Amino acid sequence: MKRGLLYIFFLIFLISNSWAQNPKDVFKTDTIAKIKNYQLIGVPIIFYTPETNFGFGVGGQLFLLNSKNKYNDRISNIFFDAIFTSNKQSIFDILPQIYFGEGDYYLDMSYKYKIFPNSFWGVGIDTDDSDEESYNMTSHILRMSFLKRLPPHLNFGFEYIFENHDVTEVEEDGLLAAGDILGSNYAIISGLGVVFNLDSRDNVGSPISGSFLKMSAQFTSEIFGSTQVYNKFIGDLRTYQRLGEKSIIAFQVYYESNYGNPPFQGLASFGGSTRARGYFQGRFIDKHMYVIQAEYRYRFRARWALNGFGLFGEVANLPNDYFNFDNIKPSVGGGIRFKLLENQDTWIRADIGFGLDGSSGFYFGVNEAF
């Protein structure tokens, strides 16, 4: 589809520690090395998106078997991958998730390097499809969070954010070429933040019950080398409720606000496979954004499920602009899920979403959107 999105990960997160309850449950044919203290697993990656066309790569995950969170049986691990596409895009990821003190402390890091041609329509909710222009950007993105567990389900900590975006190519006579948009040449985002979350979900990838609440505040400053000074606040509330043995209702409210002068790389981004299915990710960007979505999930067989979802949201330059109800962007859709293994709660999902003005998207990935 015009706004389609397709991800196929061959066994990548199927053996991910995020969902695995026991390292013995992984596919042994993918194990490169295993000794007493660690297990290394390598897998191929294949995917397709309209932004990348065909993509391929390799990934791996190193499990630190002696470093475990005793409260939820999750094992410390380091995930890494290298991806290349037919559009000459390259992406490299390293994602350590390390537990200390048997889960009382948690280090969550991510580093991403990417050379990624993309599309830009300008800033705001009323940009037109004809405004689309192409650009290329090289990025280094580092995030480090260190959290302390506060029983029974609370976590609190601090994070450091560093992003270096170098815009290497823009369209002649385009919006970015004019240089009036912050970040149109390059941008450095650097600052500190605080994170609070409450997580009582029974499962991270495909929850059946429980709730998740995350609140974070990020403060960028020239003291840390940031080219722009602004503050970002994010709230993410999710709740899951059983309706009988086979039915589940899931609900999410996501809100993001930026105050100050963020570059376009740091603005709230509407669309994508998780928060606004049916719209191209980044189709609308601005300082403020909210998304409200609900989903009904029906597990009609032990390893099969159907879903239907509806959502609405918008971006705005000022929170007061939300009261202009003409700017709301709704979407509806549905899909099917299949559980890969009987002893692991990991699902493959295929969704289709429809937004306004012919916008649509097809999504294939691992586990639920939220």
Q: Where are the alpha helices (DSSP H) in 133-188?
A: none
Residues of the chain with pLDDT > 70: what percent? 88
Q: Quick: pLDDT tens for 316-357.
A: 999 988 887 888 999 999 999 988 767 667 787 888 899 998
Mean pLDDT, range 171-191, rounded to an integer: 95
Q: Which residue has the higher pLDDT, 203 or 20?
A: 203
CA–CA separation, 267 and 257 (whole Å): 9
Residue 247: how many CA atoms within 13 Å on its side-chain side?
6
Which DSSP symbol is given to 152? Answer: T
CA–CA separation, 300 and 347 (whole Å): 14
Output the pTM of the full model: 0.83
Residue 102: strand, helix, or coil: helix
Compute CA distances 60 → 33, 96, 97, 364, whole Å: 11, 12, 14, 21
pLDDT on residue 33: 56
Q: How far, in whole angstroms, is CA 57 from its chain's centroid?
A: 19
CATH class of this structure's domain 6-366: mainly beta
CA–CA separation, 23 and 40 (whole Å): 11
pLDDT on residue 13: 39
Strands 344-354 and 230-243, bridge-based pairing: unpaired
What residues does each domain of the chain span? 6-366
Q: Which of 52-56, 126-130, 179-183, 354-358 has the lowest mean pLDDT?
A: 52-56
The sign one gets for the Cα dihedral 333, 128, 141, 191 is negative
pLDDT on residue 276: 92
Residue 287: strand, helix, or coil: coil
23 phi and psi, to 5 degrees? -60, -20
Nearest Cα neighbor of 258 from 282, 229, 296, 291 is 229
Residue 262: strand, helix, or coil: coil
